[in-house]
Amino acid sequence: MIHIYECSDGATIYHEVYKTVIGAGWGEDFQLVLEDQKEFDLYLDIIKTQGVDFVIHTLEEYDEYHVALPQQTA
């Protein structure tokens, strides 16, 4: 599962992406930083089309859960 954390440096809001590591306990490996809204939106579009499960953790401590399903083709 992918965890996306909304972060702030005081002036701007950005997102850090981590991937859950399953093995000897649970942990998360850092993947990348999404520096602006355009990168964030593009990243969400990509993982949604791949059918990846992800969680967005916002600054307000509210977890918004998403389950992305594979795109249906006609």
pLDDT tens, residue by residue, 9-63? 888 999 999 988 777 566 788 999 999 999 999 999 898 888 777 888 887 766 5
Structure tokens at 51: 């059918």
SS3 (DSSP) at 47: helix
Q: What is the pTM of this model?
A: 0.75
pLDDT of residue 33: 97
How far apart (Å, rounded) are the C-alpha atoms in residues 4 and 69? 18
Whether pLDDT at 5 is above 70:
yes
SS3 (DSSP) at 43: helix
Q: Over the Cα atoms of the chain, what is R_g?
A: 13
Whether pLDDT at 67 is above 60:
no
